């Protein structure tokens, strides 16, 4: 999957392969030398003896399938006027994994972040600093999203402890919809789910809450949102089965009632165990 970051006004593409980050050398070269010279800049850099020693050592550290004999051959010829080398040739001959040559959209030469930063040092140390800054910012954003997901899972694991009174039960569990509601045609799948879970459409909720900002789902409990997520998956399956909206609504409403009743029942049992020290 490709992503991009903006470094000093230039877009630099990123790839993730085998849980490792690769940065576009082509975009870095484009930013500093222009698109017409990008390929030549990369070729001149990779044929340098210092570069070969760096990327060859990296491969020996992280790539058990790296062909060391081929690497030694390249290293012996480095510096000769007749010696030429491209990333594709390097990958083909040595079975290197630290670089990728990609065609199509987001195409170009990519390198593992360790190698990409080394490339950046060779052509523009200043650009490297800004690249590292933007790359770290992206990683922090990704980590924050992962932490948010972990916190959500932790919160969900505690749901059953919070569902324990009849009042909450009455508030959470939707009523079984009458036939008049089931037979209505709703404008969107979102409102079909809203009816199944909340017993009203988004517009009906807004009409009842004119002074409140947001929409009906903004004020749902975590328990309702969990069930809503399940209903979305179930609805997709029912659509594939060819069920008409009224039939799907009836099944979704029944499923919402069953799932929330189960949450309440389990929550009461767990609360009783907690109170008893079990």
pLDDT tens, 62-80? 999 999 999 999 988 887 8
Q: Give me the domain span that covers residue 192.
A: 159-275
| 154 assigned to some structural domain | no
d(CA 214, CA 53): 58
Final residue before a domain boundary, out of 124, 147, 170? 147
Angle (deg, nearest 10), helices 68-77 and 87-94? 140
Final residue before a domain boundary, out of 98, 125, 147? 147
pLDDT (average), residues 42-56: 93
Least confident of 96-100, 137-141, 220-224, 250-254: 220-224
Q: Are residues 124 and 11 part of one domain?
A: yes
Six token digits for residue 110 = 């990519």
Q: Are residues 129 and 214 part of one domain?
A: no
Percent of the chain having pLDDT more than 70? 79
pTM recorded for the entire structure:
0.53
Residue 130 pLDDT greater than 90, yes or no? yes
| 153 assigned to some structural domain | no
C-alpha angle 8-132-84 in degrees, rounded to nearest 5? 85
Angle (deg, nearest 10), helices 38-46 and 25-33? 110
Q: Are residues 112 and 69 part of one domain?
A: yes
Number of domains in the chain: 2
């Amino acid at each position: 999957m490709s992503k991009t970051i903006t470094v000093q006004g230039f877009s630099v593409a990123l790839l993730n392969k085998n849980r490792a980050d690769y940065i576009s050398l082509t975009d870095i070269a484009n930013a500093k030398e222009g698109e017409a010279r990008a390929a030549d800049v990369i070729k001149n850099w990779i044929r340098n003896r210092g570069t070969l020693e760096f990327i060859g050592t990296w491969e020996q550290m992280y790539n058990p399938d790296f062909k060391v004999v081929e690497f030694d051959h390249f290293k012996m010829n480095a510096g000769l006027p007749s010696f030429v080398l491209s990333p594709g040739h390097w990958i083909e001959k040595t079975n290197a994994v630290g670089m990728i040559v990609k065609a199509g959209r987001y195409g170009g030469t990519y390198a593992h972040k360790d190698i990409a930063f080394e490339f950046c040092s060779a052509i523009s140390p200043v650009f490297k600093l800004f690249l590292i800054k933007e790359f770290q910012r992206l990683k922090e954003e990704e980590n924050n999203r992962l932490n948010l997901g972990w916190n959500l899972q932790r919160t969900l694991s505690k749901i059953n402890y919070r569902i324990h009174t009849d009042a909450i039960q009455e508030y959470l569990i939707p009523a079984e919809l009458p036939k008049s509601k089931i037979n209505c045609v709703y404008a969107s799948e979102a409102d079909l789910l809203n009816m199944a879970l909340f017993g009203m459409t988004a517009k009906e909720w807004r009409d009842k809450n004119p002074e409140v900002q947001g929409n009906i789902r903004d004020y749902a409990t975590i328990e309702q949102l969990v069930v809503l997520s399940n209903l979305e998956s179930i609805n997709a399956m029912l659509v594939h089965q060819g069920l008409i909206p009224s039939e799907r609504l009836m099944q979704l409403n029944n499923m919402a009632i069953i799932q929330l009743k189960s949450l309440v029942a389990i929550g009461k049992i767990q609360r009783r165990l907690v109170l008893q020290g079990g």
